[in-house]
Structure 1
Amino acid sequence: MSSVAAAAFTLVLSEFIVVAVLPDLVRQFGVSAGTAGLTLVLPGLLAAVAAPVLTLAFGSLDRRVVLWGLTGIVALSDLLAALAPGFALVMAARLLLGAAIGAFWTIGAGVGPRLVPAARVTRATSLIMAGISAGTVVSLPLGNLVAQHWGWRSALFGVGALSILALLLQLRVLPRMPAGRALHASDVFGLLRRPRARIGLVLSALLFFGHFGAYTFVSSYLGDRAGFSAGTVAVLLLLYGIAGFAGNFTAGATLDRSLPATLGIAAAILALSVLALGIWHAPPLVIVALGAWGIGFGAVPLSLQTNMMRDQAAEGALALFVTVSQLSLAAGSFAGGLVVDHAGLATDYLVFALPAVAAVLVAATALRRLR
């Protein structure tokens, strides 16, 4: 499990480090903040398509071989982006990353049940998600730190090197994982007939849309609106990431007791913290709200994945989850860019707190009835 968690760590680090270096991309290539945000939007769109397509295409392959290939693609995309002479090649490298993201979130996150006994599946999935949370912890502060001292290209080179190390670890320790019965389209899209899957997808859409509509511009918010220095922003982003790590493990401990309560409380914390950031920007309140936001969203992906995997084919359910979550991520980032460009950062945070509020209501009603 540790090698899969390491790959998840480098994947998330690769995906979100562009949030930390977004201002550098704006300055380097002379594009607007909204255009630079496409480095997060377009990979999300491709990941949404790649999740079901590549899951079906890889149906008969050993999952170990698939994970090797996906981790190698992540490393390649990081190195290409670091070497890119223009914004177009940066986008091409990010699209390559998007394909790997879609397949990894489906196949990588779904291997837990194949590596541990049934009683430890939630804990194993939590360990993989811990890699994701750890990537969230370090992506923004590490990206800021490296970019400040050695430039944004060095940050991407470093992430590429970590991806290569994760691949070497997988080559050493991953056991064979034969695919078993090949998936068919009906195994994926047939899940839409199940109420739990439909409700889970609605929750995924609301929470990812709301979160990334605000999160994509968190570095700009902390620097431009809250007035923190670049060094302080790096520290605050580390605080956010550590809080997310804590939220992930808290959810791992409470999901088996009550999934609706865990997800509903996480969504409520997310909504309230983003709303608070939209209303107030006094530094002490920003610090508290940012930490709460990290805890809230830290619990969200594991809770949503656990809901999708319960009583359903893991890879098929996760393929749908990845498609909806990545589409919502892309839509949220894109819409957030429009709001920021035309109405400002404060309005952006007020607008994107609303989908999380709606998710609280869904979790408290429709999801609770499935218990």
Structure 2
Amino acid sequence: MDATYDDDIIRPTAAWGAVLSMALCVAMLIASEFMPVSLLTPMAEGLHATEGQTGQAISISGLFAVAASMMITTLAGTLNRKWVMVAMTAFMLFSLMLVAAAPNFAVLMIGRALLGICIGGFWALATAVIMRLVPAQDVPRALALMYGGQAIAAAFAAPIGSYLGGILGWRAVFWALTPVVAINLVWHVVALPSLPARQKQDFRTMFALLKRPYFRRGLAACMLSWGSAFTMFTYLRPFLEKVTGVDVTTLSVLLLLLGCSGFIGTWAASRFLKGNLAPFLKLPALVMGGATVGLLLLGFSVVAAALFMAIWGAMNTMFSVIWMTWMSQNADDAPEAAGSLMVAAIQASILLGAVVGGLLLDSFSIQATFIGSIVLAVLAFVLIGNGQRMLKPKAA
């Protein structure tokens, strides 16, 4: 049942089961997309590539996610959004199987490209779908619940992946994800209500959004913030191994701490993100950039690294809810088009972060990669200011 208010039909029952199904899909997407972070070293060794090259497995998924996010609402046309989401989950399942069985680096990249299509398609529609599953006043809460899947993935995927990768090999980790994604696929079919396309989207709607100065500024700030985060996060394992000097067990514990801290961010998002969002927009760049500075200066200490990773992890989950809530409030007249642009911007930032971070790592040092992340965070903070210029002008 569509749980919002359509043009002339009142559907007051929120489809929370469908929201939970979306949350599981988020968890699996995050786990699938960023699992190479926790397995970067063994994957590089197994595929006879450098760590910087293997980091591009994240870049390639980002590249295809950008393309998919820009095209999905146009290509999907008038297709029922329920079945589009089901198809995206099926792509994720096939991608995991390809990656797990990859005999060489080329096949790995093909599998990651397919995952990118899933990422772009899912995220472009996700917020618009959530806006139809619950009443308008419950959208921030539903988004926080959906991004709870991100916290779960961050809490358990990376540390378990790192630990199991050390015991069973990195391929076994990707195979282990496939049955969960298969269950999620069935859950989508059962729980998601029929979601007929309300109107056919095209690129003109996106261009119209980009003509709005507040939306352009918000999109640029969002890109800088995400670029900063993933320039650092993609290469966190090499930093912890080379600078902090951790072994696989300690690495797994630190990644578990980072992930579990995400539950604090999810709770804070559902508790505090109400009313005026302007003061919250600069928090991700400020807090996560500050944590990266702390790691750069004090990361030789395991205790200090644990502290700053916990701070980073808590803000990481709140990060997504802040910006997607901003989108739902400031582009509520074109949520699918806005979702496409947001996802394209975010994935482009992740892609560039992984590419630039990899180049800095291979050409200079891991410290150079972290410095690049800090520079992007500073630029985001300066652009956002007090956040008011990112908000839709109030009607007179």
Relative to the length of structure 1, the TM-score reads 0.96
Q: Return the letter of the residue paired with 2:131.
A: P
Larger mean CA deviation between 14-23 and 353-362 belongs to 353-362
What is the Cα deviation at residue 126 of structure 1?
1.4
8 Å contact 2:147–2:317 — kept in the other structure?
no
8 Å contact 2:279–2:386 — kept in the other structure?
no
Q: Distance in 2 between matches of 1:118 and 1:347?
A: 44
Within the candidate set 292, 295, 308, 1:289 is matched to: 308
CA deviations over 1:15-60 (Å, ceiling 9, x no partner): 0111111111111111111110110001101101110211211131
SS at match of 2:127: coil
Match of 1:348 in 2: 369
Match of 1:69 in 2: 87
What is the Cα deviation at residue 107 of structure 1?
1.1
Q: Distance in 2 between matches of 1:129 and 1:25?
A: 28
Q: Distance in 2 between matches of 1:10 and 1:202?
A: 27
Match of 1:109 in 2: 127
Match of 1:27 in 2: 45
In the alignment, structure 1 segments of 5+ residues that lack a partner are none
Larger mean CA deviation between 72-81 and 340-349 belongs to 340-349
8 Å contact 1:188–1:316 — kept in the other structure?
yes
What is the Cα deviation at residue 196 of structure 1?
2.7
1:361 and 2:361 correspond: no
Q: Return the letter of the residue paired with 2:373.
A: F
SS at match of 2:375: helix
SS at match of 1:289: helix
Q: Distance in 1 between matches of 2:344 and 2:390?
A: 25
Match of 1:307 in 2: 326
Q: Return the letter of the residue paired with 1:144.
A: S
Cα RMSD (Å): 1.5
Within the candidate set 190, 206, 215, 1:172 is matched to: 190
Q: Return the letter of the residue paired with 2:351.
A: A
Within the candidate set 248, 254, 259, 1:241 is matched to: 259
Within the candidate set 348, 357, 378, 1:327 is matched to: 348
Q: Distance in 2 between matches of 1:303 and 1:225?
A: 32
Q: Distance in 2 between matches of 1:247 and 1:360?
A: 19
Q: Return the letter of the residue paired with 2:355.
A: F
Q: Distance in 1 between matches of 2:66 and 2:158?
A: 23
1:17 and 2:35 correspond: yes
Q: Distance in 1 between matches of 2:164 and 2:187?
A: 25
Q: Distance in 2 between matches of 1:300 and 1:9?
A: 16
8 Å contact 2:226–2:346 — kept in the other structure?
yes
Q: Return the letter of the residue paired with 2:68.
A: A
1:84 and 2:102 correspond: yes
SS at match of 1:108: helix
SS at match of 1:110: helix
Q: Distance in 2 between matches of 1:245 and 1:359?
A: 25
8 Å contact 2:222–2:346 — kept in the other structure?
yes
Q: Distance in 2 between matches of 1:127 and 1:259?
A: 18
Q: Return the letter of the residue paired with 1:254.
A: F
1:163 and 2:181 correspond: yes
SS at match of 2:385: helix
What is the Cα deviation at residue 369 of structure 1?
6.8
Q: Distance in 1 between matches of 2:127 and 2:98?
A: 26
8 Å contact 2:128–2:339 — kept in the other structure?
yes
Q: Distance in 2 between matches of 1:362 and 1:126?
A: 26
Match of 1:192 in 2: 210
What is the Cα deviation at residue 133 of structure 1?
2.5
Match of 2:10 in 1: none
What is the Cα deviation at residue 358 of structure 1?
2.0
8 Å contact 2:221–2:383 — kept in the other structure?
yes
Larger mean CA deviation between 250-259 and 275-284 belongs to 250-259
What is the Cα deviation at residue 76 of structure 1?
0.6
Match of 1:224 in 2: 242
Q: Which has the higher helix share?
A: 1
Q: Distance in 2 between matches of 1:219 and 1:357?
A: 23
Within the candidate set 299, 321, 338, 1:317 is matched to: 338
Match of 2:138 in 1: 120
Q: Return the letter of the residue paired with 1:79.
A: M
Relative to the length of structure 2, the TM-score reads 0.90
1:339 and 2:357 correspond: no
What is the Cα deviation at residue 368 of structure 1?
5.3
Larger mean CA deviation between 302-311 and 271-280 belongs to 302-311
Aligned residues: 371
In the alignment, structure 2 segments of 5+ residues that lack a partner are 1-18
CA deviations over 1:310-352 (Å, ceiling 9, x no partner): 1421111110011111011000101000111122112221221
Q: Return the letter of the residue paired with 1:16.
A: F
Match of 1:132 in 2: 150
8 Å contact 2:225–2:284 — kept in the other structure?
no
Match of 2:5 in 1: none
What is the Cα deviation at residue 65 of structure 1?
0.5
Structure 1 residues 253 and 368, CA gap change in structure 2 (3 angstroms): farther
